[in-house]
Amino acid sequence: MASLMKWLGEPASETQITHGGRLWLYLLAGLVMAFLLAPTIIVIPMSFSDSQYLEFPPRVWSLRWYDHYLGSPEWMQATFTSLKAGIFTMLVATPVGVMAAYGLFVSRMRIASLIFLILVMPIMVPVILVAIGVFYVYVQVSLVNSLLGLVLAHSILAIPLVVVVVSSALKSYDMNQEMAARSLGASRFRAFMVITLPQIRFSVITAALLSFLTSFDEVIVAMFVSGGENSTLTRNMFNALRDQIDPTIASISTIMIIVSTSLLVLAQVFGKSGDEP
């Protein structure tokens, strides 16, 4: 208790304000962090409830809703579609985005900033607009409800993220290293692959994971251009949400939370080993 009082009286920053004088800030920050974290945390135990109504804490624990999810061919197919779309989007957007970011960074062309602007456009244009525009075009070329169409549309949503993340990594990278490699006898391509890429790998991996999540979590475009056997998980969840609160969704949500958390951890682990050896 005494040590607490002492701590409150200690200066907390350069301006000599005490921790005591800042208590309100700590309280507010704690509340906001709880607000940010709570909903995702609480869904997890709720998904193990046996009840039709979601309870916290559950009175009877069960895997009932997981059984329901895993036993449903529809949900399984949707999950599979989402995974496929996510992986393909990642495989398209990452190399294409990295190439573009590198090309823009190296060339000092005056149109480089215009190209950058066009490439990041998809995150500024309201998604609904992209969705109905793509839907309209896909109808003409029969790409509606196809995996290819979905992957292409998700790729353009992911490309801006890749370009932004990789560009900022290149900005803090010492390009002299690539020049050194070239002066020592490496072609530009080889210098990029052997010297530059390993050093921006954290950003490239982050960009790839973000691409996957962009597709995996995307709702609106999927609502319009995916369907039938290529319905995505999020599309089915969204439709289910509009009707009633189906506890199955809690179990799916839990799985999705685990997926994105592990991706975040993955990104952090790669980042630490890459940036601060």
Partner 1 sequence: MSDLVLRSAGSLATQPNQTELKQDALRERFALFGLCSPALLLVLIIMVLPVGWLFWLSFLGEDGNFTLENYQRMVESKSYARIFRNTFEVSLLTTGICILIGYPLAYFLSQLPRRAANLCMITVLLPFWTSLLVRTYAWLVLLQRRGLINEWGMDIGLWDEPIKLVHNLTGTLIGMVHIMLPFLILPVYGSMKAIDRDYMKAAANLGASPAQAFWRVFFPLSLPGLFAGALIVFVLCLGFFVTPAVLGGGKVIMVSMRIATNIELFFNWGAASALGVVLLVLTLVILGIASRVLRFDQLLGGGHGS
Partner 2 sequence: MSETTLTGGALPITIRDATKSYGAVFALDNVDLDVRSGEFMTLLGPSGSGKTTLLMVLAGFTRPDYGSVKFGEREIVRTPPHKRDVGMVFQNYALFPHMSVAANVAFPLKLRGVSKQEMVERTEQALETVQLAGYGERRIDQLSGGQRQRVALARAIVFEPRILLMDEPLSALDKKLREQMQIELRRLHDKLGMTTVYVTHDQREALTMSDRIAVINHGRVMQLGTPEEIYERPANRFVADFIGESTFLPVTVQQGVARFGDQSLKVAQMPEAGEDLLLMLRPERLQLITNDSEAADGEANRFEARVREMVYQGDSFLMYTVLENGTEISLRGMTRRDTVSTLPAIGDVIQLALHRDDTVLISAEEP
Which residues of this protein are in contact with partner 2, per CB under 8 A? 174, 176-177, 179-188, 190-191, 195, 198-199, 277
Q: Does residue 183 touch partner 1 according to CB under 8 A?
A: no
Per partner kind, with CB cut-offs from 5 to 8 A, the member of partner 1, partner 2, none near residue 36 is partner 1
* Interface residue with partner 1, options 9, 67, 136, 175 (CB under 8 A): 136
Q: Does residue 78 touch partner 1 according to CB under 8 A?
A: no
Q: Does residue 206 touch partner 1 according to CB under 8 A?
A: yes
Across the strands, what pairs with 61? 49
Number of residues interacting with partner 1: please give it, by CB under 8 A: 94
Q: Does residue 274 touch partner 1 according to CB under 8 A?
A: no
Q: Between 134 and 204, whose beta carbon lies closer to partner 1?
A: 134
Q: Between 105 and 135, whose beta carbon lies closer to partner 2?
A: 105
Q: Smallest gap, in angstroms, from Cβ of residue 85 to partner 1?
A: 14
Q: Between 40 and 199, whose beta carbon lies closer to partner 2?
A: 199
Residues numbered 138 to 177 that lie near partner 1 (CB under 8 A) are: 152-153, 155-156, 159-161, 163-165, 167-168
Q: Between 62 and 261, whose beta carbon lies closer to partner 1?
A: 261
Copy the structure tokens of residue 3: 């040590």
Per partner kind, with CB cut-offs from 5 to 8 A, the member of partner 2, partner 1, none near residue 169 is none
* Interface residue with partner 1, options 48, 54, 178, 211 (CB under 8 A): 54
Q: Identify which range of 58-66, 72-80, 178-186, 237-245 contacts partner 1 by CB under 8 A.
A: 237-245
Sequence-distant (≥ 6) Cβ neighbours of residue 24 within 8 angstroms? none
CA distance 248 to 90: 28
